[in-house]
Chains A and B, each alone.
Chain A
Amino acid sequence: MYAFAYQRPTTVRQVQSALGKHDDAKLLAGGQTLLPTMKQRLASPSAVIDLGHVAGLSAIEKKGRNIVIGAMVRHADVATSDLVREAIPALAALAGGIGDPAVRNRGTIGGSVANNDPSADYPAALLALGATIVTNKRKIAADDFFQGMFTTALDDGEIITKVSFPVPAKAAYVKFPNPASRYAMVGVFVSKKGSDVKVAVTGASNEGVFRAAGLEAALKAKFNAKAVEGVAVDGSNFISDIHGTADYRANLVNVMTKRAVTKALGK
């Protein structure tokens, strides 16, 4: 790790001003992505601003027909929250499947969403549930937020404060983990609300998380696993690596979608 200055603000306003004071400051949430990167000397922020003591970022609340999760809520807390398990069990299950227990005890939803790793789980949930990302400056719809691998709509110095999830009628997430890293090699989040069906795919594409229009159309016509059978998944811009070529990932998208639909139907 390279040397850096360490700051521990207690309000979002202080975070904002600390960011302003350092050229190359980084926010530290759970540190489960940032610290490994810094340890390998792949990142060298001049300052690290610890969000761990900032007030108001750690609540899980029900607001109207939405579940609102603070940016600093740990994966383990989403996984075990009664509120989330009741309203969006698929989201709790997703959080409970991120990394391992120790990672879940530190990693946060804000950090995961801000990072937008192409193999991360949360982005699929945000897209498929039509979530809204709330920052210190504005509200951003998930569809506008994720802009390709490790790229988001966040401006420099913009801080995620919470994520708001509309409660779906049915939803499920099925993940095919990379055998080595256990990140998603393909993860498919399916949700249904009224006649609307959303299918978001993570892990597969060179462009990061995306919504699969073809699968959505098929499932809007009929929401069952059979409807997905034979729907072609375009893998032309999919990731190919030693663990899975694009065509294998395309197959997995189809299979995971079927399984997610079956799960969403409670079968």
Chain B
Amino acid sequence: MSATGIGAPVRRKEDFRFITGKGQYTDDINRPGQTHAAFLRSPHAHATIKKLDISQAQQAEGVIAVLTGDDLAKDGIGGLICGWMIHSKDGSPMKAGSHPALAQGKVRYVGDHIAVVIAETLSQARDAVEKIHVDYELLKPVIDMAHATDSGSPVIHDVSPNNQVYDWHLGDKGATESAFAKAKHVTRLDIVNNRLIPNAMEPRAAIGDYDSGQDAFTLYTTSQNPHVARLVLSAFIGIAPEHKLRVIAPDVGGGFGSKIFIYAEETVCVWAAKKVGRPVKWTGDRTEAFLADAHGRDHITHAEMAMDDKGHILGLRVKTKANLGAYLSTFSSCVPTYLYAPLLSGQYNIPAIYVEVEGLYTNTAPVDAYRGAGRPEATFVIERMVEVAAREMGQDPAAFRRRNFIKSFPHQTPVIMAYDTGNYGASMDLALEMADYKNFGKRKRDSAKKGMLRGIGFSAYIEACGIAPSAAVGSLGAGVGLWESAEVRVNPVGTVEVLTGSHSHGQGHETTFAQLVSDRLGISIDQVAIVHGDTDKVQFGMGTYGSRSGAVGMSAISKALDKVVAKAKKVAAYALEASEGDIEFKDGRFSVAGTDRSLAFGEVALQAYIAHKFSGQELEPGLKEGAFYDPTNFTFPSGVHICELEIDPDTGVTRIDRWTAVDDFGNIINPMIVEGQVHGGIAQGVGQALLEGAHYDANGQLVTASYMDYCMPRADDLPSFDIGMTTTPCTTNPLGIKGCGEAGAIAAPPAVINAITDALGHEQIAMPASPQAVWRAAQKSLHKLAAE
């Protein structure tokens, strides 16, 4: 391993600009002549707009334009789209209601966009927003998804008279029924997966710019996938053809899914830039982020698991209602279906699984992918079920899991996925050892002496990453292919630029991708630049989400590097006057086998560009290669997390005492960065389990619309984490990488809740397990104990 190659904990190249305040986030960019946009948002969850009077706002100081849904319609600008078609059980397509960027006659959630004011200053724009007068006719809102389809419920979209988007299923119903018929024990559980608000620390922002000389648009935006944004804004929304629209996603301050989607605000800014003839800037404030960023999770589930008398799992039956909010956001439809149900087999050998999912409209913000997207929901179901089943059957939860682990690979689950490789027992062994499981009993007694309740909880998770084989997702309804592209440009002096369709918003691609190049070409990472986030520079790409940048994005780079090396060998053959077959490439030098004749990588690069040695030959000058990589399978990172915690029964305060995480991410490029991803994921998962939860009141007002009420994990809510690794390299991509970005967020919630229920003598508890909720459950549990 070289100092900067694969496997080295190289310090990040991008950090210098961030620690010196020189990062360039969207709001840090100012365009000459720029104007400022502020949106009028609906204060009501459900209403028709009887009258929209913008005349006073138009007259207000500094106002340049006030634009509404009518203006969008007049310009033929289409609505926002959902790019994944889901078909219901009966074969009918999902019911996608229209999603105008500015309301047309109706508003469907608090925060829905009605109009935009564009003014010289932000204060003026905000002042003028207050001068727009709207006559609303209030409609009853649908807030509780459990009752969304009740007869007599208000209708949110005419296309769906019962507020159902789809009624979908996966798996073999008959086989699952037979499994349950044979069962000796059945575990049943009602499970809620709480609604979360992503809260990347950088709020979304956009600057639209129009160059009338070129008749071309530029959009600076906080995006995880600028090319997908351009594709949607061009082909579906109709802003401009792709060659007339450049999308730049500069430094992005975290995404976690919420910046995948194409939103109303960026659409309006880029469109309005041409209308007002000046750049239009919008920077969301935190309140807007709470109201109008796509939220995550929000499932209610009933699950049943069948076991034989020894505790082997025979079958799993799951029925889930998924809240999709008021509109279908960009990828929302696939999250509770194809990103959820196929993961319900977990790490276990389950012969039969049947899953039904109902997608529902409610008068709440759209719900879409949030870190993990579907996979945390699946893991929560299976890991809670396994835990409860083990307890009910009087078995040790670790042993119960081990009994049911999949032990031979490849393994085909009954729900689409074919796991290529893994060693679940190895992760469990290491985790138990690191967590000092054998002395847990003593620690529990010590806690009890202080009046504290100690619990331990496991989570043996699996996720499907490396999203995704294009043919597979296409057959399941995706509107796009999920390959990745890369271009490697070698400059005449041997420095390298890598253009990638992946996008970094905290993941450290500028470092890890450079490490791959350094490793392959034998040059220092300082001689490598990673270029991303600009559709004018990078030809195409699908962006960063679903832990895909390593497994898919880097595989594309790896392919392009193979081509670069192949061509450079040809150049070296001419330069060294040897036959191509005799050229060897090692540690950055091309040499003629069995001789001392060699050239450094940089020298060969120069030869490629001066082309003196091979002009007139078939070989073309230059050294630049591109590649598209389309994975052949998902990757399957897995691991075991163990949470140990202590509860103060008098107050319900839960303190996590130890966290052990053992993950199998396949091969690792930079362990420092991988561990960082795990830390961040666990924090978000602990946040979901203990602290976070979006709460709408009965009228559809978001009660948790700021950090005063939405509980973000802070430093003193969390412990330090013990991280361990096991490795089974992925067999389906050239680098053996599985991906690590979402693991923590997927693994953590059931580990925490299983630990709490352990501490509370099996008393069930919903997320977030706030002090109040834990206190109540603790009281119940203590009463029960006293009664016994």
For B712, list chain A residues within 8 Å (CB). 180
Smallest beta-carbon distance A166→chain B, Å: 31
Task: Check: B244 CB closer than 8 A to any chain A CB.
Answer: no
1/0 per position for B101-145, CB-CB distance to A under 8 A?
A: 000000000000000000000010011000000000000000000
Cβ contact within 8 Å between B691 and A251: no
Cβ contact within 8 Å between A243 and B770: yes
Smallest beta-carbon distance B545→chain A, Å: 28
Cβ contact within 8 Å between B709 and A180: yes
Q: When chains A and B are docked, how far (Å) is the Cα of A176 from the Cα of B770? A: 13
Task: Check: A245 CB closer than 8 A to any chain B CB.
Answer: yes
A176-B651, A251-B775 given; A1·B707 CB < 8 A: no
For A252, list chain B residues within 8 Å (CB). 651
Smallest beta-carbon distance B753→chain A, Å: 17
For A181, list chain B residues within 8 Å (CB). 707-709
Query: Closest chain A residue to B768 by CB distance?
Result: A179
> Which of A1, A40, A180, A255 is the one whose CB lies under 8 Å from B651?
A255
For A176, list chain B residues within 8 Å (CB). 651
Q: When chains A and B are docked, how far (Å) is the Cα of A101 from the Cα of B729? A: 46
1/0 per position for A48-77, CB-CB distance to B under 8 A?
A: 000000000000000000000000000000
Cβ contact within 8 Å between A242 and B775: no
Cβ contact within 8 Å between B711 and A180: yes
A-B contact count (CB 8 A): 42
A31-46 interface (Cβ within 8 A of B):
40-41
Cβ contact within 8 Å between B710 and A180: yes
Cβ contact within 8 Å between A179 and B775: no
Residue among A3, A40, A180 facing the most chain B CB atoms (10 A cut-off): A180
Q: When chains A and B are docked, how far (Å) is the Cα of A1 from the Cα of B127? A: 9
Task: Check: A148 CB closer than 8 A to any chain B CB.
Answer: no
> Which of B650, B695, B703, B771 is the one whose CB lies under 8 Å from A179?
B771
Smallest beta-carbon distance B418→chain A, Å: 42
> Which of B126, B127, B709 is the one whose CB lies under 8 Å from A242?
B709
B704-720 interface (Cβ within 8 A of A):
704, 707-712, 717
Query: Closest chain A residue to B717 by CB distance?
Result: A179
For A3, list chain B residues within 8 Å (CB). 123
Task: Check: B772 CB closer than 8 A to any chain A CB.
Answer: yes
Q: When chains A and B are docked, how far (Å) is the Cα of A244 from the Cα of B651? A: 11
Q: When chains A and B are docked, how far (Å) is the Cα of A248 from the Cα of B711? A: 18
B695-754 interface (Cβ within 8 A of A):
695, 703-704, 707-712, 717
> Which of A2, A243, A255 is the one whose CB lies under 8 Å from B650?
A255
Q: When chains A and B are docked, how far (Å) is the Cα of A181 from the Cα of B127? A: 29
Cβ contact within 8 Å between A245 and B772: yes
A180-B710, A242-B709 given; A248·B123 CB < 8 A: no
For A243, list chain B residues within 8 Å (CB). 709, 770, 772
Q: When chains A and B are docked, how far (Å) is the Cα of A264 from the Cα of B182? A: 63
Query: Closest chain B residue to A258 by CB distance?
Result: B650
Q: When chains A and B are docked, how far (Å) is the Cα of A1 from the Cα of B770? A: 34
Query: Closest chain A residue to B695 by CB distance?
Result: A242
Cβ contact within 8 Å between B123 and A179: no
Query: Closest chain A residue to B652 by CB distance?
Result: A248
> Which of B126, B707, B772 is the one whose CB lies under 8 Å from A180?
B707
A224-249 interface (Cβ within 8 A of B):
242-245, 248
Cβ contact within 8 Å between B707 and A248: no
Query: Closest chain A residue to B653 by CB distance?
Result: A176
Query: Closest chain B residue to A1 by CB distance?
Result: B123
Q: When chains A and B are docked, how far (Å) is the Cα of A40 from the Cα of B126? A: 11
Query: Closest chain A residue to B123 by CB distance?
Result: A1
Count, chain B residues at interface, CB 8 A = 23
Query: Closest chain B residue to A248 by CB distance?
Result: B772
- Classify the interface of chain B: helix, strand, loop or mixed: loop
For A245, list chain B residues within 8 Å (CB). 772
1/0 per position for A176-202, CB-CB distance to B under 8 A?
A: 100111000000000000000000000
Query: Closest chain A residue to B712 by CB distance?
Result: A180
For B770, list chain A residues within 8 Å (CB). 179, 243
Q: When chains A and B are docked, how far (Å) is the Cα of A243 from the Cα of B712? A: 14
Cβ contact within 8 Å between B775 and A248: yes
Cβ contact within 8 Å between B772 and A244: yes
Residue among B650, B652, B695, B707 facing the most chain A CB atoms (10 A cut-off): B650
For A251, list chain B residues within 8 Å (CB). 650-651, 775
Smallest beta-carbon distance A229→chain B, Å: 11
Smallest beta-carbon distance A145→chain B, Å: 26
For B691, list chain A residues within 8 Å (CB). 179-180
Smallest beta-carbon distance B349→chain A, Å: 40
For A180, list chain B residues within 8 Å (CB). 691, 704, 707-712
Smallest beta-carbon distance B311→chain A, Å: 37
Query: Closest chain A residue to B690 by CB distance?
Result: A179
Cβ contact within 8 Å between A242 and B651: no
For B652, list chain A residues within 8 Å (CB). 248
Cβ contact within 8 Å between A242 and B704: yes
For B711, list chain A residues within 8 Å (CB). 179-180
Q: When chains A and B are docked, how far (Å) is the Cα of A170 from the Cα of B709? A: 35
Smallest beta-carbon distance A35→chain B, Å: 14
Q: When chains A and B are docked, how far (Å) is the Cα of A1 from the Cα of B126? A: 9
Q: When chains A and B are docked, how far (Å) is the Cα of A49 from the Cα of B330? A: 49
For B775, list chain A residues within 8 Å (CB). 248, 251
Smallest beta-carbon distance B389→chain A, Å: 31
Query: Closest chain B residue to A244 by CB distance?
Result: B772
Q: When chains A and B are docked, how far (Å) is the Cα of A181 from the Cα of B709? A: 6
Smallest beta-carbon distance B741→chain A, Å: 26
Q: When chains A and B are docked, how far (Å) is the Cα of A180 from the Cα of B710? A: 6
Q: When chains A and B are docked, how far (Å) is the Cα of A121 from the Cα of B377? A: 40
Smallest beta-carbon distance A256→chain B, Å: 8
A152-211 interface (Cβ within 8 A of B):
176, 179-181
1/0 per position for A1-35, CB-CB distance to B under 8 A?
A: 11100000000000000000000000000000000
Residue among B126, B287, B711 facing the most chain A CB atoms (10 A cut-off): B711
For A255, list chain B residues within 8 Å (CB). 650-651
Query: Closest chain B residue to A179 by CB distance?
Result: B711
For B772, list chain A residues within 8 Å (CB). 243-245, 248
1/0 per position for B396-427, CB-CB distance to A under 8 A?
A: 00000000000000000000000000000000
Residue among B127, B652, B704, B772 facing the most chain A CB atoms (10 A cut-off): B772
Smallest beta-carbon distance A51→chain B, Å: 25
Smallest beta-carbon distance A26→chain B, Å: 19
Smallest beta-carbon distance B507→chain A, Å: 28
For A40, list chain B residues within 8 Å (CB). 287
Query: Closest chain B residue to A40 by CB distance?
Result: B287
Q: When chains A and B are docked, how far (Å) is the Cα of A113 from the Cα of B287? A: 28
Query: Closest chain A residue to B287 by CB distance?
Result: A40
For B651, list chain A residues within 8 Å (CB). 176, 251-252, 255
Smallest beta-carbon distance B228→chain A, Å: 34
Q: When chains A and B are docked, how far (Å) is the Cα of A2 from the Cα of B770? A: 37
For B123, list chain A residues within 8 Å (CB). 1, 3
Smallest beta-carbon distance B565→chain A, Å: 53
Query: Closest chain A residue to B691 by CB distance?
Result: A179
Q: When chains A and B are docked, how far (Å) is the Cα of A245 from the Cα of B779? A: 15
Q: When chains A and B are docked, how far (Å) is the Cα of A242 from the Cα of B708? A: 12
Smallest beta-carbon distance A85→chain B, Å: 23
Query: Closest chain B residue to A185 by CB distance?
Result: B771
For A244, list chain B residues within 8 Å (CB). 771-772
Q: When chains A and B are docked, how far (Å) is the Cα of A83 from the Cα of B127? A: 48
Q: A179-B717, A242-B695, A243-B709 are in contact. List 11 more A-B contacts (CB 8 A).
A: A1-B123, A41-B126, A179-B770, A180-B691, A180-B711, A181-B707, A242-B704, A242-B709, A243-B770, A248-B652, A255-B651
Listed A/B pairs (16) with beta-carbon separation below 8 Å? A179-B711, A179-B770, A179-B771, A180-B707, A180-B709, A180-B712, A181-B708, A242-B695, A242-B703, A242-B704, A243-B772, A244-B771, A248-B652, A248-B772, A248-B776, A251-B650
Task: Give chain B's interface residues, CB within 8 Å of chain A.
Answer: 123, 126-127, 287, 650-652, 691, 695, 703-704, 707-712, 717, 770-772, 775-776
User: Considering the complex of A and B, which 7 residue pairs feature the smallest CB-CB distances, nearest first?
Assistant: A180-B711, A181-B708, A255-B650, A179-B711, A248-B772, A244-B772, A180-B709
Task: Give chain A's interface residues, CB within 8 Å of chain B.
Answer: 1-3, 40-41, 176, 179-181, 242-245, 248, 251-252, 255
